[in-house]
Amino acid sequence: MDNSKLKEQVEIIRQAFGYIDQFKNEIFVIKIDDVLISSPYFPALIKDLVLLHRMGIRIILVPGSRTRIDEVLKTYQIDCQTAGGVRISPPEAIPFIKMAAFDVSNNIMTMLAENGAHAVIGNWVRARSIGVRDGVNFQSSGIVEKLQIEIIKNVLEDNLIPIFPNIGWSLSGKPYNLSSNDLAFTISVQLNAAKLFFVTDKGEIRADGFTVPEGIYVSSNNVISQLTLPQAESFLKVNAESPNKEKLELVSLACRACESGVRRVHIVNGRADGMILKEIFSNRGLGTMIYANQHDHIRPMTISDIPEVLSVMQPAIDEKILIKRSASDLQQKVNDYVVYDVDGTVHACGALHVYPDRQAEIAAIAVDEMYTSLGIGKKIVSFLIEKAAVSKLKAVFVLTTQTSDWFTKLGFESVNISDLPKEKKDHYNADRNSLVLRLKLDRYRAKRAFKVGD
């Protein structure tokens, strides 16, 4: 096995162990589309859920049952209309809708049992009728009114996996057909879940067919891998007329969940192997994550970060992109460095070395090889430029042998060695023959002021 593959595997293992400890005893609410039951990957998904359960993560399952309901209603020749994406449930259809919903839940409970996990299906949801909306009577379609929170917590304490069919009951015992998406949202909020998952047959949120606002990163395979809450709200606003209502509904529910205290919402593809594990135990998941709290950020480097920073730098040092730095070198200039932190793990770094002539060098830009396609290097450089501008410096410069085109795109211009600060000029390494590029900050400040005023 080559060193890069080994390093990648070791990094994945480290991330996984860190997350296992972080998520122990936390609640994960997982809504699963029932159409996935026929997928060849579904048994593996159940095994993964059991694995999470055994790790001490408290799993709550909310199976969708739309596909099974459609099959049962068709068999019994019962026609149900929809309005605004909601099934209108006449009273005569409810026994068949209940049968379908519990059939799906029973199938999942059986598969959990086959893998050694104990689950229980309960009637812990009080519901009421949607009533009449925009002139449409939704009859026995309902919304969640109340959850039996203490009972659900007791079930979790007993090391059982609660399964919620999309059925709720009124105080008088009348059953209602509920939206499983709304049910999962309500459960995640009321039980203060750490994560809410929508495991869908449609997959993660992709850029195809959507307008993607500026600032939202799209991966090389066209997936929108993460959205802050403001970005998600902007995404919904510009795509309000999109015909892809199902995915917009999930993003909207994710926003509401984050606003209500759920830390992360994940929309993942249930037709791919191991997607939930990859989404949880790697800080580069493969689905779409919406979050309100700080997931990734640039912060000052600390002494304890130095081993990780050296590890991030090493590939660039090996390729002669960066000069070699020791732990002592970093410690002496610890206040110059910043790191890009994802859930407590360093994945990139950079430094701003200030000189007496009010110029500063941007140096030591390095990004973890697994994160090179996410635009993190640009984020760090932009952060350091902004820091220099706020500090009233007159220019920032870089010395580079292989990345001059990249810096040129950011507005840097080629200058002479004689334009460097005296201290840097005196220590210029002619053997490396680095190009010198500079960005004048008066132009940067003027451009920034124009944008703000505009």
CATH number of the structural domain spanning residue 360? 3.40.630.30
247 and 126 assigned to the same domain: yes
Structural domain count of the chain: 2
Q: What tokens were used for 201? A: 């047959």
42 and 96 assigned to the same domain: yes
- Cα distances from 347 to residues 283, 294, 368, in angstroms, run 10, 15, 5
Nearest one of 361, 194, 331, 330 to 262, comparing CA atoms: 194
287 and 313 assigned to the same domain: no
Beta strands in 34-124 (DSSP E): 58-63, 82-83, 86-87, 119-121
The whole domain housing 200 covers 3-292
254 and 319 assigned to the same domain: no
d(CA 328, CA 346): 19
How many CA atoms within 13 Å lie on the side-chain side of 234? 11
d(CA 386, CA 365): 15
11 and 129 assigned to the same domain: yes
84 and 116 assigned to the same domain: yes
Distance of CA 349 to the CA centre of its chain: 21
Q: What tokens were used for 41? A: 């990957």
75 and 183 assigned to the same domain: yes
Given 292, 310, 343, the domain boundary residue is 292
Q: What is the pTM of this model?
A: 0.73
Distance of CA 331 to the CA centre of its chain: 33
Which positions ≥6 away from 298 have C-beta within 8 Å?
A: 338, 339, 340, 341, 379, 380, 383
Given 235, 269, 292, the domain boundary residue is 292
d(CA 294, CA 231): 13
163 and 123 assigned to the same domain: yes
d(CA 371, CA 348): 8
Q: 3-class SS at 178?
A: coil
245 and 365 assigned to the same domain: no
Exposure class string for 315-338: b at 16+ Cβ within 10 A, else e: bbeeeeebbebeeeebeeeeebbb
Which positions ≥6 away from 107 have C-beta within 8 Å?
A: 37
53 and 154 assigned to the same domain: yes
274: left (phi over 0), alpha (psi -120 to 50) or beta: left
d(CA 84, CA 58): 34
Nearest one of 118, 217, 127, 131 to 161, comparing CA atoms: 118
54 and 177 assigned to the same domain: yes
Which positions ≥6 away from 383 have C-beta within 8 Å?
A: 298, 338, 350
Given 262, 277, 292, the domain boundary residue is 292
333 and 217 assigned to the same domain: no
Nearest one of 286, 270, 252, 206 to 32, comparing CA atoms: 270
Q: What is the CATH number of the domain that holds 144?
A: 3.40.1160.10
pLDDT in tens, the chain (454 residues): 556 566 666 666 666 666 677 788 999 999 999 999 999 999 999 999 999 999 999 999 999 999 999 999 999 988 888 888 889 888 999 999 999 999 999 999 999 999 999 999 999 999 999 988 888 888 888 999 999 999 999 999 999 999 999 999 999 999 999 999 999 999 999 999 999 999 999 888 999 889 999 878 888 788 898 898 889 999 999 999 998 999 999 999 999 999 998 999 999 999 988 888 888 876 566 789 998 865 567 899 999 999 999 999 999 999 888 999 999 999 999 999 999 988 778 989 999 999 999 999 999 999 988 777 677 888 899 899 989 988 889 999 999 988 888 899 888 999 999 999 999 988 888 888 889 999 998 877 655 544 433 3
Beta strands in 130-194 (DSSP E): 132-133, 136-137, 142-147, 161-163, 167-169, 175-177
CB count within 10 Å of CB 149 equals: 13
Angle between helices 94-114 and 66-75 (to 10 degrees): 130
